[in-house]
Amino acid sequence: MADELAIRLRGVTKRYGPITAVKNLDLDVPEGTCVGLLGPNGAGKSTTMRLLTAQAIADEGELEVLGFRLPGESKVARAQCGVVPQLDNLDVTLTVEQNLLVFTHLYRIGRADRRDAIERALRIANLSDRRHDRVSKLSGGMRRRLLIARALVHRPRLLLLDEPTVGLDPQVRQELWALIDAMRAEGTTILMSTHYIEEAQRLADTVMIMSHGSAVAAGPPAELVATHAGLEAVEVYGAPAKLAEAEAAAAAAGFRTRRTGTSISVLGIEGADGRAPEGEPRPTNLEDVFVLLTGEEID
Amino acid sequence: MADASTPRIARLRRLERPALTGVLVREVVNFSSYWRSSTFSSTVEPTIYLLAFGFGFGALVGTVGGYDYVEFVGTGTVATAVLFSSAFPAMFGTFVKYQFQRTYDAILAAPVDTEELVTAEAIWIATRAGVYGCVPMLVAMVFGLDPAWGMLAVPGIAFVGGFGWACFGISIAGFASSFENFNYVVSAVLTPLFLVAGTFFPISQLPEWAQIAANLNPLYQLVQLVRHAAFGFEGWTDLVRLGVLVAFGLAMWRVAIFAMTRKLVD
């Protein structure tokens, strides 16, 4: 095989009682790439992440991480993975530096290299001058940066990010994107789950859209947009009754549509030669694909 | 295939030392932030029992089973201190770390298995119990308990007992679905075992069936071992008592691993 796969899932299914959280999932993450798992809440993204660290055990299917078979060889794989959880689990009564120190031990960094690893992580998180502060005194953004730096102390080959910027300000989010992008530039393989479309579009080489535990589409963001939503869209605004009318008319004319809440987007209107409805033109985007493929209603 | 091209460095050993060390380092570093309160509660409480019973009852009864009552209670409350500094922190600490701080999620994402996590946590709590357990004995020395060479074995005995009770506490936290469930365990299990352990009165006062049952109480065996460490060991009998404590520890250890695996790995 030419491209080494950092993650390889085949036919993975995970059930919780009557609920199937992940259904017959195939996933390839080639080394050195950033793959985004995009999907609404409850699509199975977090379960997929937990399967990759053997904190959830699949009912069916094959899982390989960095060439190791899960769950049997997971511990060896985990030694070379960094994990950033969705929910902050730092030790809040410890200082920034103590949190990193604990993880140099958990990730088995030798005594001689511990100091350097901590300094490097502090630099990555840009927290060198806060090293002696207790975590409880840090801002939300700093805690997130520390959480990411903590996952990088041992220079992992694979970084698993579960909703890395959920609930953060746009400014903080940009800062974290820069940090993640820098890791990607260094060649770290990244698998990131997110329900923020912009995040996936900016950071991921490949996006896999999940819905109800299954992959519904996968590919580079631009390709997904072109395939599923075409190149151009037009926004039709108006009263709800008019929107419903426009939706029906566009569908009858063979266009794909999606609701935005305030308008109807008629997609793939390029080359429609005037058959497209009147409205505000705009390029199509990943959000169009997301809504088309994961449904307009929230269950 | 990935199989052929990836260098195999799989070490699939269980209970690896670096994993245990990692979890222990976390506990030790954390201990630096809360050692005052923990040391206070683990030592002051049994000391109060010792003083209250020792002087309260001591004034009435004088000697029990051939010992000065203060000596009797001073050695008995070692087991109380071990219980208070192992079962309780294990129950509450494990639950908090699992449920509220999500510490165990972070640790299990690192190269540490549940078995290693539980073992290291129990070793840590047992070590603390081994140290805290000596406090009532030291206090009793101030009030007239004579030093003996056998007492040097007390930290070790307290460690073995503490390990079992720590694993017991971790198991309860693993099976419990909420904090409130702990009330049942404290009322229905720990309080009776604590009272029928020969700490404050000799179990020879109890009906025969209760005396036989008390032999299965690890806390009673712990009390007896500590007392014999202070006043003279009884050879084979005490080895059997130690065996009961070790068996209790090993059994609870496996139960704790089972309970926590169920809780932590979906």
Q: Are B110 and A102 a contacting pair at CB < 8 A?
A: no
ipTM, two decimals, is 0.87
A-B contacts (CB, under 8 Å): 106
- Nearest by CB to residue B107, choosing from A1, A92, A106, is A106
Q: Does A103 touch chain B (CB under 8 A)?
A: yes
Nearest CA in chain B to A105: B22
For residue B3, the chain A residues in CB contact (below 8 A) are 67
Kindly report the number of other CB atoms within 10 A of residue A137's CB atom: 12
Closest-CA residue of chain A to B264 = A55
pTM listed for this prediction: 0.89
Residue B215 structure tokens: 């032999």
Q: From the CA of B239, how many Å to the nearest CA of chain A?
A: 37
To test the contact with chain B by mutation, choose from A46, A55, A134, A137 the residue with the greatest count of B C-beta atoms within 10 A, namely A55
Strands annotated E in B106-253: none
User: CA-to-CA distance for A25 and B214, rounded, in angstroms?
Assistant: 55
Nearest to B6 among A67, A78, A87 (CB): A67
User: How close, in Å, is residue A175 to chain B by CA atoms?
Assistant: 23
| Burial track A5-29 (b if 16+ CB lie within 10 A, e otherwise) | bbbbbeebbbbeeeebbbbebebbb
Count of C-beta atoms within a 10 Å radius of residue A140: 12
Q: Residue B242 to residues B154, B173, B220, B229, B230: CA-CA distances in angstroms?
A: 12, 26, 11, 12, 15
Q: CB–CB of A83 and B109 under 8 A?
A: yes
* Rounded Cα gap, residues B163 and B168, in angstroms: 9
Asked if the Cβ–Cβ distance from B110 to A76 is below 8 Å, we say no
Nearest CA in chain A to B18: A108
Give the pLDDT of chain B (266 residues) as one tens digit per residue: 344 444 445 556 788 899 999 999 999 999 988 888 888 887 788 788 888 888 888 888 888 888 888 889 889 999 999 998 999 999 999 999 998 889 999 999 999 999 999 999 999 999 999 999 999 898 888 888 899 999 999 999 999 999 999 999 999 999 988 888 888 888 888 888 888 888 888 888 888 998 888 888 999 999 999 999 999 888 899 999 999 999 999 999 999 999 999 999 98
Q: By CA distance, what is A110's nearest residue in B?
A: B18
Neighbour tally for A292: CB within 10 Å: 19
